[in-house]
Chain A
Amino acid sequence: MDFSTLEAILRPDQILSGAAASRGYDCDAYTVDRSKPSVIVLPETTLEVAAVVRWCAASQVPFTSRGAGTGLSGGAMPALGGVVISTKRMNHILEIDLENRCMLAQTGIANRRLTDAVKADGFHFAPDPSSQSVSTLGGNIGENAGGPHTLKYGVTVQHILGVTMVDPLGEILTIGGKLGCGPGYDFLGLICGSEGTLGVVTEAWVKLTPLPKAVTTALVAFPTIRSATETVAGIIATGTIPAALEMMDRGIMNAVALAFKLTFPSEAQALLLVECDGDDADVVAKEMESVRTVCESNGCLEIRIASDEKERANLWMVRKKGIGAMGRIAPSIVTHDGVIPRSKLPEMLDFVYEVAEAHKIGVANIFHAGDGNLHPCFYFDDRDPLQVERVIEAGEIIIKKCIELGGSVSGEHGIGVEKMDLMPLMFSPADLEAQAMCKRIFNDGMLCNPCKVLPNQRGCAEHKMRWRGVAT
């Protein structure tokens, strides 16, 4: 294939190729499966994206959208090679409308920058994945990302009013807008979480949410995992919905202690980070009081409540830097993602530790406990094929258990290539065929982010073994 004709569409500095460049784009943060693109393009406008996609359609070359590449299920991996459309240079805010509480931005902008732009005016973009300093608006839409504050504020789809996108044939579509979607079919709901398989989202109107006037944050230490998980169920049962309810286990504490010199009670096996917020300081204080009562009745060891913004940031550090700190312990980490009904947390966590032990791999847990959204982090060495296999097997066993307990294969990281084969555990062939019908509304072919989400797609099986590489 002659990729040089792309130069008729983009400037040379917008086209990257060669071994080094393609290695940098052969996987996302799920490093187990890899596939190299032929070319990486860096468009700057919707029109440029449309021109590239039309070129791909005409040349029958597969293409894959990519934001920051922090996805954890292989969504941005170019499964059949071809062109990676990176939104790196599409990072501008195009309009801020505070009165109507919304903002228009290109989708390559990092999540955090949306909030930074309006913070001083008392607003924020509520979805806050822990990767928010780098992960992009487009990636958040692609994966319908959540974050620690999802419990109260919802996931990405609830904060997107409209998008401009390029469909798989290169046509520009506008769905919803500043006023959100009108009546009719909810295409926006379908696009959020579709993992880049329905087209390339180039711009989005996002909702701006007022910052709460009062916030209280507590970090609570527990002597056992079970006492912490039972506290989660207890807090939810009181009817209090904290803004965040996150859990970290001893593995994370050790990693964070090592990396950032933080200290925790020596007998602590689990931490809960609880944040309550709202406009009325008295109500928020009462909520935190109710949280404290539940924690104490479950035998907590210590409750640290932040008295100012600096202390609050310190308490959050263990949650926000937890996964990064794990990176210092082992060469590779695979962060799994499954959801279970919250009441099943105690049983499920016991199971996770058993599986890790049986597979001789290290595991630490840091997750959105309030949503029942688990993230067991396996740490291992991905240069060793046997370890890679064990990690994959353990992950599958855990996800199967999530489904057995009435949960889901993924809470926020998506299906990508990682979990395609697990979809039939959750859905019947008829269910999956109906999902394929949804995909066909936008994407009838194999060019736009092929071999993702739906299992058994024609033309993908033979590539699977090729992806499963070992890090070099």
Chain B
Amino acid sequence: MSFEHKQVIQFPDLAQNYLFPGSQTDLSQMISNHSRLRIGGFNPYRYSNSKAGANFAKAESGKLVRTEGPPTVQQCDGHVLLDKLNKVVMFSPADQVITVEAGILLNDLNKYLLDSGFEIPIGLNEKDQEECIGDLMAMNLPHWNLARGGTWRDWVVKMRIVLANGEIVTSGADVVKSVSGFDIHKLMIGARFTLGVISEVTLRIKPRSTPKDYPAIALNHGILFLTNREGLKELLEYSKCHTEDDDEFVKHAMVFYIEDESCLVLTESFQNHFNDAPFDSAKFGHVWRSHVGEFALPNFSESDQKLMRRTKAIFDPTNKLNPGEFGFF
């Protein structure tokens, strides 16, 4: 089973030398044959690439400043998009797992699962559903159903990855639970294709549930609040204190989706910093949750920076894969 190939060129200004691997072997060869590749089509939150605040980092003064961007596709040999890798490889309703190639759109996958009464409970908005799951995993964005649905890490049980040297490797197993060595697949989730390219995944799936009935707000950077409308107003006030150009920034960065009467969802937002005084969640009984968002290397903790540098040097010593991401120039 495979889906119609939807070629969406997202960056008209960069539209040259797009590469569409038709198989995982193709992808492996493309990676072997190039020295600098941009990978993936899902960019709105990427470091230095989005209008919506992603190109801000925190300067020493504590203010947000615009940062340098990654090399554009012109500086890379090509831009790999996974769209054609969109086959369903294996589906076992009895075991509640599905294996798909990484270019399948989340929307197509969820439609496919719907017929059998299953879903992937990653609650992205409509626009993001149009992205392929490889890109979504590479970005590991927060989503409105985070508190219940968890992150991609909670659903991926096995992955095939094309490493920077073109080698195709497998991590994990087609079962819901496995402790079998070092979980490379967890390292790839949220790594923005800087360590390897996700080419195929096996996902746990769950029986479809009814829509959620509690309020939730997901912030881009790392925190999910369960809140109410009062709390939301308070949160907006709080968010403004982080931006230089409040109105412009907040307008760009925040999009609200009112899913139903009680469910408020904020899926795009502003930079939010761990080091700032936390939002007074006690006031409304909010619950802090963790997640990912936008950051550049200097914004990470010392431990993280050290480990990230070491990881990049081991997995992609020539900085072939998505140079510029996380500030690896």
Within B160-196, which residues are at the interface with A (CB < 8 Å)? 161, 163, 167-171, 173-184, 186-187, 189-191, 195
Which of B95, B177, B179, B308 is close to A343, meaning CB atoms less than 8 Å apart? Answer: B95
CB distance B314 to A453 under 8 Å? Answer: no
A244–B136 Cα gap in the complex (Å)? 31
A185–B183 Cα gap in the complex (Å)? 12
CB distance B282 to A99 under 8 Å? Answer: yes
Stretch at the interface among A5-13, A168-176, A305-313, A327-335: A168-176
Write the residues of chain B forming the contact surface with A, with a CB cutoff of 8 angstroms. Answer: 92-97, 117, 140, 150, 153-154, 161, 163, 167-171, 173-184, 186-187, 189-191, 195, 206-208, 221-223, 274, 281-282, 285, 287-295, 300-301, 303-304, 306-308, 310-311, 314-315, 326
CB distance A187 to B290 under 8 Å? Answer: no
Contacts of B206 in A (CB 8 A): 241
Contacts of B93 in A (CB 8 A): 237
Could you pull out 21 A-B pairs where Cβ atoms are within 8 angstroms? Answer: A100-B287, A175-B303, A182-B300, A184-B295, A185-B190, A185-B304, A185-B308, A186-B189, A190-B187, A236-B96, A341-B95, A407-B173, A407-B174, A407-B175, A423-B180, A423-B181, A430-B169, A431-B169, A438-B182, A438-B184, A438-B187
Stretch at the interface among A42-50, A150-158, A388-396: A150-158
Q: Scoring A residues 174 to 194 as 1 if CB is less than 8 Å from chain B, else 0, what string do you get?
A: 111111111111110110011
Q: Scoring A residues 432 to 458 as 1 if CB is less than 8 Å from chain B, else 0, what string do you get?
A: 111101111110000000000110000
CB distance B303 to A173 under 8 Å? Answer: yes
CB distance B94 to A236 under 8 Å? Answer: yes
CB distance B179 to A434 under 8 Å? Answer: no
A-B residue pairs, 10 tightest by C-beta: A180-B290, A189-B186, A239-B207, A408-B178, A408-B173, A438-B182, A183-B292, A343-B94, A341-B95, A173-B303
CB distance B150 to A441 under 8 Å? Answer: no
CB distance B175 to A190 under 8 Å? Answer: no
Closest to A436 in B: B182
A236–B175 Cα gap in the complex (Å)? 14
Contacts of A240 in B (CB 8 A): 207
Q: A144 on the interface (CB 8 Å rule)?
A: yes
Q: A411 on the interface (CB 8 Å rule)?
A: yes
A189–B184 Cα gap in the complex (Å)? 9
CB distance A180 to B95 under 8 Å? Answer: no
CB distance B186 to A186 under 8 Å? Answer: yes
Stretch at the interface among A268-276, A412-420, A459-467: A412-420
CB distance A179 to B154 under 8 Å? Answer: no
CB distance A150 to B177 under 8 Å? Answer: yes
Within A67-110, which residues are at the interface with B (CB < 8 Å)? 99-101
A57–B287 Cα gap in the complex (Å)? 42
